[in-house]
Amino acid sequence: MKQKKLSIFTSKILYFFILTFFLVFLYFIYLDSFNKENISKAYITNQGDNTVSVINLNSLKKVKTINVGVAPLGITVLQKKQLVFIGNVGTDDISVIDAVNDKLIKTIKLHTAPLSLTSNSEETEIYITDWFKNNILTISVEDLKVSGSFKVGKTPSGVTFNEKYQYIIISNRDENTIEIYDKDHKLVKKIKAGAHPFGIYSIDDFVYVANVYDDSVSVINLVDWSKYNFLVGAHPYNVRVHNRIAYITNTVDDTLTIFDLSSKKTIKTIETGETPENLDFNFKLNLLVNTNWGGDSISIFDAQSLQLIKEIKTGAQSRSFGDFILH
Partner 1 sequence: MKKIIFALVAIMFSASVFSHGPTPQKVQESVTIAASPQKTWEALKNYSELKKIMKVRSFKDKLMKAKYELIEKDVPFSDYNAQIRVKKGANDNESIVQWTARFYRTYKLNPPIPEGQDDATAVAAVKKIVGPGLEGFKKYVESQ
User: Site residues (CB under 8 A) for partner 1?
Assistant: 47-48, 70-71, 73, 89-91, 113, 115, 131-132, 155, 157, 173-174, 234-235, 251-254, 271, 274-275, 293-294, 317
CB of 118 to partner 1, least distance (A): 17
Which amino acid is present at 285?
L
If the CB atoms of residues 85 and 321 are measured against partner 1, the closer one turns out to be 321
- Reported as half-sphere exposure (CB side, CA atoms, 13 A), residue 80 has a value of 7
Residue 174 or 204 having the CB closest to partner 1: 174
Minimum distance, C-beta of residue 124 to partner 1, in the bound complex (Å) = 28
Q: Whole-number minimum distance, CB 91 to partner 1, in Å?
A: 8
Question: Among candidates 155, 110, 161, 108, which has minimal Cα distance to 135?
Answer: 155
Q: Which one, 157 or 314, has the nearer CB to partner 1?
A: 157
Nearer to partner 1, 97 or 233 (CB): 233
Rounded to a whole number of angstroms, the minimum distance from the CB of residue 261 to partner 1 is: 27
Check: CB of residue 93 under 8 Å from CB of residue 108: yes
Q: Which is nearer to partner 1, 226 or 307 (CB)?
A: 307
Numbers of helices and strands, H then E, in the chain: 1, 29
Q: Given the complex with partner 1, which of 216 and 251 has the nearer CB atom?
A: 251
- How near is the Cβ of 268 to partner 1 at its closest, in Å? 17
The residue (of 41 and 196) whose beta carbon lies closer to partner 1 is 196
Residue (102 or 274) nearer to partner 1, CB: 274
Query: Minimum distance from CB of 132 to partner 1 (Å)?
Result: 5
Closest to 194 in 3D by CA, of 207, 181, 182? 207
Task: Decide: helix, strand or coil at residue 31.
Answer: helix
Whole-number minimum distance, CB 270 to partner 1, in Å?
13
List 192's β-bridge partners, or say none: 177
- Give the chain's largest Cα–Cα span: 94
Phi, psi of 183 (to 5 degrees): -70, -10
Burial (CB count within 10 angstroms: exposed 0-12, middle 13-18, buried 19+), residue 323: buried
Q: How far, in Å, are 215, 254, 266 from residue 259 at the CA level? A: 14, 16, 4
Q: Answer yes or no: are the C-beta atoms of 296 and 304 closer than 8 Å.
A: no
CB of 157 to partner 1, least distance (A): 7
The H-assigned helical ranges of the chain are 2-38
- Looking at residue 185, what DSSP letter applies? S
Between the two ends of the chain, the Cα-to-Cα distance in Å is 63
